[in-house]
C-alpha cells in the first residue's frame, strides 16, 4: 500500500492544494518580502499609520501578492472582494462597485483585489478612477507585468506601486520546512535533491509547495530521492519567461549589456537562459547582428560578418546544432574591441538630415545629363579624385548652406585606430589643397 500525504490528513483538508492550506495568516508569516512586511516595511508602516491607500502589487508569480492583499484587508478591517481581470468585464465591475457603495452606507469599507489587472484595457482601467477618488473602494491590483507599460497613467497616479521580489533560495527552503512541520512529514529527498527542488521552483513560492506535494504523491514507502531520481519523477518546471513581455525584454537587455561590457561569460549565460526558455533563436541571431553594428562597428568590421554567419548557420542547421554558432558569435562580439562611433555618427547624420530638410548637394558633384543642367552649372568644377595627387581632391561634398560637418569620430581601439589615422591624413591633404596646412604623410 502506498502511503502518501493524503493518507495522513483528512479528505476535507486534502481537497485544497498545499499552497492554499499553508497560506500565511499574518504579515509576519510572509517570507521573502521583508522590505514590505518586516517591522520597518512599507506595508507595516502604512497599516500602522491607519492611512491605507490604493496599491499596485508588482512581482513574479508565487511571491505572495494575493496573500498580501488579503492580510492588508484583514488588518485594515475592510471587506475583501476579489476578482480576476481575465474573467471580468464592465458589467461585473458595475456590480462590484454597487455592492461596495451599499456596504459603505452601512459603514463597511471595501478592499477590491484585482488579479492580473494589466489584462484590463485602458477604458476598463479608467472605470476604477471615480470609485477610487470618492472612497467607494480601496483598490489593490496585482500584476506580473511592468505597470509603467501595462497600466494607464491616470490609474498609476492614484495608486502606489509596491514591488514584490522573486523568492530567494533561503525563503523557498523556509517554505519547505514549513510544509514539513504542517504536514508532519519529511520530504524523502537528500540534500542535493532538496537543493534541486528549490532550483526547480525558480523563485516561486506556490511552485515549491506544489513540487513538494508532487514528491509526496509519487513517493513509495522507503523511497529517498537523490538529484537524478528527483529529475526522473518530476517534470522540470519551465522558467518564468514570456516571450512578449517583461521577462523577454529584461533578458535581451541583459544579454546586450553583457556583450557591450565585454563579459563573454555573462553574455553566454543570458543567451542560454533565453534559449532554454524557448526564445526564437533567429530573434537572438538578429539581435547579435544589431550588437555588432551598434557596439562594435568598425572597431572590428569582422564582427558583423561573424554575426550574420551565425544567424545563417542556425537557419541552415536548426536546433540544437545551430545554437553553437550563436554562442560563437556571442563570445566573439563580447571579446571584440568596442566602439559606438558608427552608431553615434548615424544618429548625428539623421538629426542633421531632419533639421536641414531637402538641401541640394553642391552643383559640382551633380551630373549634367542635359544641356539645361550643364548651363545651370551642374558638374562644373568637379575634380575626379583618381586624377588628383594621392587620389584625393579635398573638395567639399556637403550642401553649401550646411558647411562641412563631422559626424564620425573613430575611437583609438581596434581597426578604428587605423581609420582615425586615415581621416587625419585626408584632413591634412584637404588643408594642403586649401593652402592652409602642412604636408601630409601617407
CATH of domain 246-335: 1.20.272.10
Closest CA to 138 of 176, 189, 103, 182: 103
Residues 6+ apart with CB under 8 A from 229: 193
Architecture of domain 33-163: 3-Layer(aba) Sandwich (3.40)
pLDDT band at 248 (very low <50, low <70, confident <90, very high): confident
Beta bridge partners of 223: none
Q: In DSSP terms, which residues pair with 81 in a beta bridge?
A: 112
pLDDT of 414 reads 94
The full set of domain ranges for the chain reads 33-163, 246-335, 357-433
The alpha carbons of the chain give a radius of gyration, in whole angstroms, of 32
- Note the pLDDT tens digit of each residue in 379-406: 888 989 999 888 988 888 899 888 889 9
pLDDT in tens, 316-344: 998 888 999 999 999 999 999 999 999 99
pLDDT category at 237 given cuts 50, 70, 90 is low
- pLDDT for 54-68, tens place per residue? 999 999 889 999 999
Say yes or no to pLDDT of 107 above 50. Answer: yes
- Which residue bears the cell 558647411? 403
Q: How far apart are CA 219 and CA 209, in angstroms?
A: 15
Q: Cell numbers at residue 18, please? A: 498545499
| Residue whose C-alpha cell is 523563485 | 203
Which pLDDT tens digit goes with each residue over 9-45? 444 445 688 888 999 999 989 999 999 999 999 999 9
The three cell numbers locating residue 206: 506556490
CA distance 363 to 398: 10
What is 357-433's CATH number? Answer: 1.10.3710
pTM, rounded to two decimals: 0.65
Amino acid at each position: 500500500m502506498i502511503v502518501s500525504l493524503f493518507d495522513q490528513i483528512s479528505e476535507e483538508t486534502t481537497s485544497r492544494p498545499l499552497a492554499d492550506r499553508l497560506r500565511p495568516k499574518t504579515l509576519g508569516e510572509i517570507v521573502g518580502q521583508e522590505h514590505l512586511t518586516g517591522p520597518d516595511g512599507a506595508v507595516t508602516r502604512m497599516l500602522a499609520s491607519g492611512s491605507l491607500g490604493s496599491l499596485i502589487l508588482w512581482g513574479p508569480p508565487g511571491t505572495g501578492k494575493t496573500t498580501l492583499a488579503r492580510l492588508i484587508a484583514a488588518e485594515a478591517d475592510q471587506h475583501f472582494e476579489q476578482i480576476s481581470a481575465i474573467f471580468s468585464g464592465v458589467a461585473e465591475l458595475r456590480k462590484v462597485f454597487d455592492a461596495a457603495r451599499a456596504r459603505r452606507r452601512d459603514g463597511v469599507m471595501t478592499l477590491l483585489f484585482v488579479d492580473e489587472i494589466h489584462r484590463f484595457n485602458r477604458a476598463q482601467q479608467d472605470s476604477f478612477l471615480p470609485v477610487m477618488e470618492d472612497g467607494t473602494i480601496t483598490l489593490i491590483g496585482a500584476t506580473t507585468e511592468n505597470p509603467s507599460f501595462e497600466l494607464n497613467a491616470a490609474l498609476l497616479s492614484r495608486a502606489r506601486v509596491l514591488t514584490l521580489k522573486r523568492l530567494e533560495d533561503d525563503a523557498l527552503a523556509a517554505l519547505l520546512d514549513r510544509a514539513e512541520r504542517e504536514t508532519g512529514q519529511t520530504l524523502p529527498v537528500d540534500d542535493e535533491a532538496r537543493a534541486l527542488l528549490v532550483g526547480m521552483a525558480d523563485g516561486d513560492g506556490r511552485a515549491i509547495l506544489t513540487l513538494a506535494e508532487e514528491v509526496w504523491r509519487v513517493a513509495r514507502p522507503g523511497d529517498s530521492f537523490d538529484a537524478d531520481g528527483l529529475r526522473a519523477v518530476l517534470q522540470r518546471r519551465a522558467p518564468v519567461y514570456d516571450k512578449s513581455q517583461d521577462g523577454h525584454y529584461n533578458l535581451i537587455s541583459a544579454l546586450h549589456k553583457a556583450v557591450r561590457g565585454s563579459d563573454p561569460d555573462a553574455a553566454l549565460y543570458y543567451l542560454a537562459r533565453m534559449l532554454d526558455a524557448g526564445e526564437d533563436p533567429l530573434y537572438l541571431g538578429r539581435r547579435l547582428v544589431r550588437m555588432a553594428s551598434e557596439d562594435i562597428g568598425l572597431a572590428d568590421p569582422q564582427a558583423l560578418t561573424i554575426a550574420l554567419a551565425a544567424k545563417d548557420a542556425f537557419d541552415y542547421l536548426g536546433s540544437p546544432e545551430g545554437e553553437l554558432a550563436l554562442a560563437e558569435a556571442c563570445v566573439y562580439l563580447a571579446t571584440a574591441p568596442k566602439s559606438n562611433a558608427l552608431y553615434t555618427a548615424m544618429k548625428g547624420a539623421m538629426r542633421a538630415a531632419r533639421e536641414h530638410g531637402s538641401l541640394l548637394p553642391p552643383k559640382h558633384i551633380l551630373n549634367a545629363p542635359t544641356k539645361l543642367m550643364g548651363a545651370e552649372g551642374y558638374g562644373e568644377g568637379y575634380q575626379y579624385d583618381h586624377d588628383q595627387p594621392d587620389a584625393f581632391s579635398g573638395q567639399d561634398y556637403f550642401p553649401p548652406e550646411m558647411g562641412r560637418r563631422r559626424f564620425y569620430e573613430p575611437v583609438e581601439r581596434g581597426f578604428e585606430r587605423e581609420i582615425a589615422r586615415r581621416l587625419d591624413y585626408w584632413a591634412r591633404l584637404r588643408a594642403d589643397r586649401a593652402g592652409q596646412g602642412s604636408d601630409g604623410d601617407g
